[in-house]
Amino acid sequence: MDYEKRKSYETEMEEIKVNPEREPIELSREQCLEAVKILEEAKHDVQVKMYDFVKTHKDSPSVINSRVRAEELRQADLLYI
C-alpha cells in the first residue's frame, strides 16, 4: 500500500478513536469471535513468514528487523482492505 493511502487510513482511525460523538456499537458474540479469528489468523501468517525468513536467511539482525517491520506494515494494510 502506498504512503498516501496508509496515511489516510491512519487519519481515519485516529478520528474514530477520539471522536466523542460516535456512539459505541454493541457487537454480537459471533461478530466478536469472527474479528478475533481474523486477527489471530493474520498474526499467525506473519509469524510463519517471519520464522521461515529468519530460518532461510542468515542475514544480520538489522536486515531481519527491517524485513519484520516491512512485513508488519504489509499485514496491517491487509487488515484495512
Mean pLDDT by 10 residues, the chain (81 residues): 76 76 84 89 83 78 80 71 50
**Site of grid cell 506473519:** 46
- Is-contact 16 22, C-beta < 8 A? yes
Q: What is the pLDDT of residue 59?
A: 73
- pTM of the predicted model as reported, rounded to 2 decimal places: 0.50
